[in-house]
Amino acid sequence: MKYTIIIQWSEKDQCYVVLLPEFTQIMQPCTHGKTYEEALKNAQEVLEILIESSLANGEPLPEPKTQVKSLKVTL
């Protein structure tokens, strides 16, 4: 399954924050990282935990949403 991961820079927190929009039952943003790569790694770990937990508890997984992949670059 392919889930949406949104990574945005937060001026307030001075880090990249991660949103997992399909997982509405958790607080958003759900993780962060000092670098984009760290935020992505942390997002993947959170996704694994959420999926494993849902399956272990017999809960249905949310339907993945189809979104266009985009990357905003600030110079």
Q: Which domain holds residue 50?
A: 6-56
46, 53 in Cβ contact below 8 A? no
| Domain-embedded: residue 61 | no
| Domain-embedded: residue 73 | no
Contacts with 55 (C-beta within 8 Å, 6 or more apart), sequence order: 61
pLDDT value of residue 62: 94
Total-model pTM = 0.81
| Domain-embedded: residue 66 | no
34, 15 in Cβ contact below 8 A? yes
pLDDT-based confidence at 22, cuts 50/70/90?
Answer: very high
DSSP E strand boundaries for 1-75: 6-10, 15-19, 31-33
Instruction: Tell how far CA 58 is from the center of its chain.
Output: 22
